[in-house]
Amino acid sequence: MGDEKVLTTALAAAASSRVLRITPTQMYRIARELSAGGGTNPALLLRLAAARWPDRAAIIDDAGTLTYRQVLAAAHATADHLHRRYGVTEGVPVAVMCRNGRGFLGAVFGAALLGADVVLLNTDFRSGTLAATLAAHRITVVLADDEFGDILADANPTIPVMSATRVGDSDAVVRPSSREVSLVILTSGTTGTPKGVPRQPDPSQVLGVATTILWRTKLRTGARVAIAVPFFHAFGLGSVFLSLTLGATMITRQRFDAETTLALVSLHHAHALMAVPIMLARILELPDQVRDRNPVPDLGVVMSGGAPLDPALATRLLDAYGPVLFNGYGSSEVGIGAVATPADLTRAPNTVGRPVAGSPMRILDQHDEVLPAHVTGRVFVGGKLAFEGYSSGDTKPVAHGMTSTGDMGYIDDNGCLYIVGREDDMIVSGGENVYPQAVENALGEHPAILDSAALGVVDDEYGQRLAAFVVIRPL
């Protein structure tokens, strides 16, 4: 019961700080859920939320609204069907291919209730990539939105596909597994063979990071959180876990559209929006009349993550919506490492902020020695959220108990981190280390440039130089 004691202690600390405002009665319900088993299983987050806020809206998606009680019931029904129809038990690898919505929640947490390992498939994968991924992870069954049935059959016709949205009515309640299941997040985009990043999200770890984020953002229980990023990515999955910890109402759609997203934030009086930078750019590019008819007076947090935030974009958003922008830094491999607040971004739009509690950070040289402030080196992040290696057995460099993010950066005198580029993006031009990101950031400040990309090319005089490609903003 050691993990359960840690979680109970963390909940009590959160209650005393009024971040989660847990009453004695609610603590009793939580303790009852803990005693039912599954103390280190991610499905525990959903069970705790349903125990505390059973009739609160958990998700508003394309199909309507479900309460926490209903989402948990759907997860139990999915688990029951997986076990009876497909023989899924503890340790069996299953895959989920769902867009944002109730189907994803029921599939992931239903499989977790059984103690199965879950591989999250990118909904943009083509059949060749799917085939390689399914084989590499020895998938036995795929839970998917109905639209993906044909492409999954093309990828591997021998693997059964279960509908994630048409489970049917069931009063079944499975006994929660206490196994530490792996949620495998896939990296490398939509081409090539993706790398699997197994994560074992202990609820006590999630709660510790979530409490820090809630403290910085001032979000409270019952918040309405619009999640535009895909649930199957690390940022999206983290947003789901944060929402469960907070007892938030998740507002989402299967596909992103800038105007629809802004309208949903306005209609539901959302307190937070989770989005990648390109989504925020598309919202800012909407005509003034569209933004004027979709006011967002309750929006206090816009969390950017999943990709580098252009400093010029950060400044534009702060100018348009006020001090609401937060920038999260991390990766599939290390989890979340730092968060920049609106004050940080106003002072320095190119910072990714200060480390999150429980995720220590160091800047190291090529000999793994710690570098002082303002000296650029390799970024390493520690803590229990860091992964232990890819599914293939490969891993990232580890030093001082911390994992490399693959980024180069430095920390200033205020403790804020700045990313200057990727280790493998750096070029040496005339003996100087040069990073494409610095050029891209400078180009982003030009009002006529919508997007840009810089890369190294061979140069007879300097050895290497940067070449830039730009997208001109439409007139």
Q: What mean pLDDT do residues 277-283 have?
A: 95
Residue 46 belongs to a domain: yes
pLDDT at residue 135 in the model: 94
Q: Could you give the number of structural domains in the chain?
A: 3
Q: Let me know whether 447 and 406 are in one domain.
A: no
Q: Are both 52 and 153 inside the same structural domain?
A: yes
Residues 100 and 224 in one domain: no
From residue 278, how far is each of 257, 343, 416 by CA, in Å? 11, 22, 23
More confident residue, 434 or 57: 57
pLDDT at 474: 83
Asked if the model's pLDDT at residue 438 lies above 70, the reply is yes
Question: How large is the C-alpha radius of gyration of the chain?
Answer: 22
Task: Give Cβ neighbours of residue 26 (< 8 Å, ≥ 6 apart).
Answer: 51, 52
Query: What residues contact residue 83 under an 8 Å CB cut-off, 6+ apart?
Result: 89, 114, 174
**Residue of higher predicted confidence among 265 and 182:** 265
Clarify whether residues 114 and 236 are in a common domain: no
Would you place residue 465 in the very low, low, confident or very high pLDDT band (cuts 50, 70, 90)? confident
CATH number for 445: 3.30.300.30
Helical packing angle, 203-217 and 2-16, nearest 10°: 10
Percent of the chain past pLDDT 70, that is, above it, reads 82
Indicate if 182 and 218 belong to the same structural domain.
no
Structural domain includes residue 26: no
Contact yes or no for 456/466 (Cβ under 8 A): yes
pLDDT band at 199 (very low <50, low <70, confident <90, very high): low
> Do 158 and 92 reside in the same domain of the chain?
yes
Largest CA distance in the chain: 73
Q: Output the DSSP codes for 11-24.
A: HHHHHHTTSS---H
Q: Is the pLDDT of residue 68 over 90?
A: yes
122 in any annotated domain: yes
Question: CB of 61 within 8 A of CB of 101?
Answer: yes
Per-residue pLDDT, 461: 67
**Domain's final residue, options 146, 164, 199:** 199
Judge whether 28 lies within some domain.
no
Q: In the predicted model, is pLDDT for residue 8 greater than 60?
A: no
Please indicate, yes or no, if residue 351 is contained in any of the structural domains: yes
Residue 370 maps to a domain? yes
- The pairing of strands 117-120 and 64-67 is unpaired
Query: Do 61 and 184 belong to one domain?
Result: yes
Nearest-5° angle of CA 453, CA 99, CA 64? 130
DSSP string for 154-211? HH-TTS-EEESS--------PPPP-S---EEEEESTTSSPPEEEEE---HHHHHHHHH
Domain assignment present for residue 21? The answer is no
Q: Which of 174, 199, 224 is the last residue of a domain?
A: 199
Instruction: Say yes or no: 70 and 143 in one domain.
Output: yes
Kindly tell me if the per-residue pLDDT of 389 is higher than 70: no
Question: What's the average model confidence in pLDDT over 172-185?
Answer: 88
pLDDT over threshold 80, residue 37: no
Got the DSSP string for 22-58?
Answer: --HHHHHHHHHHHHTS-TTSTHHHHHHHHHH-TTSEE
Q: What is the pLDDT at residue 31?
A: 47
**From CA 139, how far away is CA 145, in angstroms rounded?**
17
Q: What is the mean pLDDT of residues 403-410?
A: 90
Between 171-175, 303-307, 463-467, the lowest mean confidence (pLDDT) is in 463-467
Say whether both 96 and 116 belong to one domain: yes
Higher pLDDT pick, 446 / 70:
70
Whether the predicted pLDDT of 171 surpasses 80: yes
pLDDT at residue 207, as a whole number? 61
Residue 445: pLDDT above 70? yes
How would you classify the pairing of strands 141-144 and 117-120?
unpaired
Q: Is residue 225 part of a domain?
A: yes
Q: What is the pLDDT of residues 112-143, one digit of tens each?
A: 999 999 999 999 999 999 999 999 999 999 99
Q: Are residues 258 and 400 in the same domain?
A: yes
CATH number at residue 61: 3.40.50.12780
pTM for this one? 0.85
Shared-domain flag, residues 359 and 444: no
Question: 410 by DSSP, 3-state: which?
Answer: strand
Q: pLDDT exceeding 90 applies to what percent of the chain?
A: 58
Residue 241: which domain range? 203-425
Calculate mean pLDDT across residues 382-402. 68
- Quote the mean pLDDT of the chain: 85
Asked which of 199, 226, 247 is the last residue of a domain, the reply is 199
How far is the C-alpha of 329 from the C-alpha of 50, rounded, in Å? Answer: 30
Per-residue pLDDT tens over the stretch 423-437: 877 777 766 667 788
Q: Which two tokens stand for residue 9?
A: 């202690």
Q: Is the same domain home to 456 and 364?
A: no
